Each structure stands twice: as structure tokens, then as C-alpha cells.
Amino acid sequence: MESINKQSSAKTRRKFEKTFKLEAVRNWLSSGKSAAVVAEELGLNESLLFAWRKLLPPAEAGGRAQAGGRSSPARDLQSELDNARREIRHLREQRDILKKTLGILSEPPPNDSNGFTP
């Protein structure tokens, strides 16, 4: 009888410490590089970075919006613009009311005699 020796071709699963995971994600988010590039540099699968991003606190997990500094200031500017437009609309309404009031107050009194007394 011939015995066949099978060698295990299964790869051993690598384990990473939490600090490594967090630093890898922070490196990715702050570098501005794509996840694929950073993963290749670290010898990882790209999907690991996306999974590890969930480990970050919400303030840090903002990702490219915070790292690139593009989205947050744009939101701030849009909010400021909306507030300015709202205030302009309110001031125009007040101006129109004052104009109408001035027009009403400056009209002569509605007398037939127009101030003439015989």
C-alpha cells in the first residue's frame, strides 16, 4: 500500500495588534493616498483598512473629509452663505415694511376741505 502524504497548503492566518491597525488606518487617512496604495505598501489587503477604520473613534474616522480639509470648510461656507441669505431676506422685509409705513404716515389727511375752513 502506498501512503500519500499531503502537505498542508493552507496559509497561516496573520494577526495584527490593535495599535498596528489604528496606525495603519491613520496613516492611510492622513496621507491622502488611496487605500489600495497604502495597503500595498504595508503588504495588506485593501479591505482590511476599511474594516479597521471602524476601530477608530468617530471623530477620527471622518476620513478624507477631515484629512483633506475639503469637505468640512465647504460645509461651513455653505452654512454661512445660507445664514447670510436668510438675514438679507429678513432685512429686505423690514425695509419694505418701513417704506410702506413712511408712505402711509406722509399722506395728507383724508378731508374734503383739505385743511380749508370758511
Residue 43 in contact with residue 49, Cβ under 8 Å?
no
pTM exceeds cut of 0.75: no
pLDDT at 81: 92
Angle, in degrees to the nearest 10, between helices 18-31 and 35-42: 140
Nearest residue to 35 via CA among 64, 77, 71? 64
Residue 93 in contact with residue 99, Cβ under 8 Å?
no
pLDDT at 96: 95
Residue 63 in contact with residue 28, Cβ under 8 Å?
no
Residue 35 in contact with residue 46, Cβ under 8 Å?
yes
Residue 53 in contact with residue 77, Cβ under 8 Å?
no
Tens-of-pLDDT digits for all 118 residues of the chain? 445 555 556 678 888 888 888 888 888 888 888 889 988 998 888 898 889 888 887 766 665 444 444 457 778 888 899 999 999 999 999 999 999 998 888 888 776 665 566 5
DSSP state of 64: H
